[in-house]
Amino acid sequence: MTLSVREVRSKKDYTAFQRLPWDIYRSFPQWIPPLLQQERQLIQPGKHPFHEHALTTLFLACKGDDVVGRIGACLNEQHNIYHGEHAGFFGFFECQEDPEVADVLFRAASSWLKKQGSVCIRGPFNWSTNESCGLLVEGFDAPPRVMMPYNPPYYAALMEDCGLAKIKDLITFELPASAPVPERFERIARRARDRAGVRIRTMSKKSFDTDVGIIKEIYNQAWSKNWGFVPMTSAEMKHMAREMKSVIDYRLVLIAEIDGSPAGFAMTIPDANQVLCHLNGRLFPFGFIKALWYSRSVNFARLITLGIKDDFRRKGIEAILIIETLLRARNAGYVGGELGWVLEDNRLMIRDIEAIGAVRNKRYRIYEAPLS
């Protein structure tokens, strides 16, 4: 049967692009379908603020009339300006276990990126580090937590056969809410409170927009030197906050202040995947009712990000935020949580996370290949 590849153009193509994973993951019960409406906003230009500073396109691979693979290609101009690069990115990769299909997909994405002036192809990113990213290479036994990807184990071999090689791994950790707080952390936290006057407050419903702005400011400064970081625009942060507003547990979004000035934050959100696994990608017409029902039994959370402003580092704020997150999650009835991701070479953060008893549970990989 003839193998072909084409760019996504029509409404029918977008639907086929989104529905392909339901075929790929029939034998992978750990996979959790994304909300189709949210994904459509992200992949379709003009629907998501990311596209205000990026060019994207999507490809479908077909055998006859059957869709057998997909990939997205992205020129993230904001990333390239920020890092002084000419990199291209890929994401939304799904493929049957067929090296020929993977090859035509990566060739199509690479060719498009070369035309945009890219010198390498890097990913997977859907579409940046501010969204879902990385290829799962360890930890296939358990479903992913909220905003983390899942993929079949054979994807790594497909990518490597296409000439892509690892450039960075991302690590996540799991911690039971019953874990005792190490004495060293308590000592650091006490000293930070006494000497630096650190105060912790929760995000406020009444001042939601103001707190979103504070978190954006801290995040963009605290992560500015991290590998792969791309500053979030105000439009992107507002869009993300709007999507997360319905699932936020305000008790677990913490802002650290010193003398009234925001110094750091830790954002932990309930594991919405415990709800999404029941919705089959749709909120309407009946998914919304299911979401309300199953949201009552969510008992796991994910600490998705923690950041400290440069001027307030080495004052013990990280210890306070970690301890407060753990204790507040425990008091709120959560049984455990996932922490991360964390860059594999961020040894200081990994040391602190493992010091509180968290164990590595999943590893995600970023790949790259030159475009020559």
CATH number at residue 301: 3.40.630.30
Q: Which of 126, 149, 169 represents a domain boundary (last residue)? A: 169
- Residue 86 one-letter amino acid: H
pLDDT band at 287 (very low <50, low <70, confident <90, very high): confident
Contact yes or no for 366/169 (Cβ under 8 A): yes
Within this chain, do residues 101 and 189 fall inside the same structural domain, yes or no? no
Note whether residue 311 is domain-resident.
yes
Domain residues for 325? 175-364
Q: What is the distance, to the nearest Å, from the Cα of residue 185 to the centroid of all Cα atoms in its chain?
A: 27
pTM summary value? 0.95
Domain end residue (candidates: 148, 169, 190): 169
Same domain? 137 vs 61: yes
Query: Residue 26 falls within a domain, yes or no?
Result: yes
* pLDDT, mean of residues 19-36: 97
Provide the sign of the torsion angle of the four alpha carbons 269, 275, 276, 279, taken in this order.
Answer: negative
Q: For residue 294, what pLDDT is reported?
A: 84
Say yes or no to pLDDT of 80 above 90. yes
Q: What is the mean pLDDT of residues 303-328?
A: 91
Helix axes 317-331, 347-355, angle to 10 degrees: 40
Residue 33 shares a structural domain with residue 98: yes
Tally of domains within the chain:
2
Q: Find the DSSP H helices in the chain.
A: 11-24, 36-43, 77-83, 99-115, 155-161, 183-191, 208-222, 234-244, 273-276, 287-294, 317-331, 347-355
Between 63-67, 182-186, 325-329, the lowest mean confidence (pLDDT) is in 182-186
Together in a domain, 150 and 189: no
Looking at the fold, whether 157 and 63 belong to one and the same domain comes out as: yes
Higher pLDDT, residue 193 or 85: 85
Same domain, 348 and 276: yes
> Which of 328, 326, 332 lies closest to 358 in space, CA to CA?
326
Q: Are residues 9 and 51 in the same domain?
A: yes
Pairing between β-strand 120-123 and β-strand 87-95 as defined by DSSP bridges: parallel
| Whether residue 137 is found in the same domain as residue 260 | no
Q: How confident is the model at residue 1 (pLDDT cuts 50, 70, 90)?
A: confident
> Could you tell me if 191 and 98 lie in one domain?
no
State the sign of the Cα–Cα–Cα–Cα dihedral 111, 134, 288, 50: negative
Q: Is the pLDDT reported for residue 49 higher than 90?
A: yes
**Three-state secondary structure readout of 279-306:** CCCCCCCCHHHHHHHHHHHCCEEEEEEE
At 29 the pLDDT is 96
**Does residue 298 lie within any of the structural domains?**
yes
pLDDT above 80: residue 288: no
Q: What is the mean pLDDT of the chain?
A: 94
294 within domain boundaries: yes
d(CA 62, CA 68): 5
Residue 190 has pLDDT above 90, yes or no: no
Instruction: Tell me which of 126, 145, 169 is where a domain ends.
Output: 169
* H/E run at residue 335: none
Q: Does a structural domain hold residue 358? A: yes
Mean pLDDT value of segment 297-326: 92
Of 84-88, 138-142, 280-284, which range is least confident?
280-284
Position 372 in a domain: no
Taking residues 252-273, report their average pLDDT: 95
Strand partners, 307: 265
CB atoms within 10 A of CB 51: 17
Rounded average pLDDT over 269-286: 90
| Alpha-carbon torsion angle 312, 315, 317, 320, nearest 10 | -170
Co-location of 256 and 320 in the same domain = yes
Whose tokens are 């990199």? That residue is 87
Residue 285 resides in a domain:
yes
Question: Encoding tokens for residue 39?
Answer: 């994904």
The CA distance from 254 to 268, in Å, is 8
- CA atoms of 84 and 296, how far apart (whole Å): 46
Tokens 């991290």 — which residue? 226
Distance CA 33, CA 35 (A): 7
> Looking at the structure, do residues 201 and 85 belong to the same domain, yes or no?
no
> 194 and 93 in one domain?
no
Q: For residue 258, what is the enclosing H or E element?
A: strand 253-258
Q: How many CA atoms lie within 13 A of 246 on its CB side?
A: 10
Is residue 291 very low, low, confident or very high in pLDDT (cuts 50, 70, 90)?
confident
Domain annotation covers residue 371: no
Q: Please state, in angstroms and as integers, the Cα–Cα distance from residue 194 to each residue in 37, 319, 320, following that order.
A: 48, 14, 12
The pLDDT value recorded for residue 131 is 92
